[in-house]
Amino acid sequence: MADPLAFVEAGLACCALESTACRAGLGPKVDAAGEVRGTVFVVAGTVTHAMAPAIRARYDALDGPVTVVAFGACATTGGPYWDSYAVVPGVGEVLPVDVVVPGCPPRPEALRAALADLPTPSSGPVDS
């Protein structure tokens, strides 16, 4: 990653094991002045309608530039539960997504690769 970034994770289902494995050893990264210069918000797992407001609230509470990563098929499209009455067909229905990591589940290395090639973060939480 070019800039120091904080890593915030919404681990919701099986994909969370993979994203957490990626997170191990990353930790919040700060610059020489001790400032976190951006946040990566990783949504990993199945987003239910019941959980969606909490995920949105967590996103809205983040300060500064935020890059949202939808990690895995469920977070991206609802995955194998895409037509379930209880499942949101992708976290993009709830907040703006910048990066998609495909797979069911993706491997931790896939998230590391995505983090190494992030787009410029948006200026902060926005209305979706």
Give the closest residue to 123 by CA, choosing from 48, 24, 38: 38
Q: Which helix (H) or strand (E) holds 53?
A: helix 52-60
Give yes or no for residue 92 binding ligand SF4 (CB under 6 A): no
Q: How far apart are CA 31 and CA 109, in angstroms?
A: 24
Q: Which of 45, 65, 90, 121 binds ligand SF4 (CB under 6 A)?
A: 45
Rounded to the nearest whole angstrom, what is the least distance from the CB of residue 72 to ligand SF4 in the complex? Answer: 4
Measure Cα distances from 101 to 15, 45, 63 in Å.
Answer: 11, 12, 23
Residue 102 touches ligand SF4, criterion: CB under 6 A: no
Interface with ligand SF4, residue 39, by CB under 6 A: no
Q: Which is nearer to ligand SF4, 84 or 122 (CB)?
A: 84
Using CB under 6 A as the binding rule, the residues of this chain from 55 to 74 that contact ligand SF4 are 72-74
Cα-trace Rg, the chain: 14
Q: Rule CB under 6 A: say whether 80 interacts with ligand SF4.
A: yes
**Identity of residue 45:** G
Nearer to ligand SF4, 6 or 101 (CB): 101
Q: How many chain residues touch ligand SF4 (CB under 6 A)? A: 12
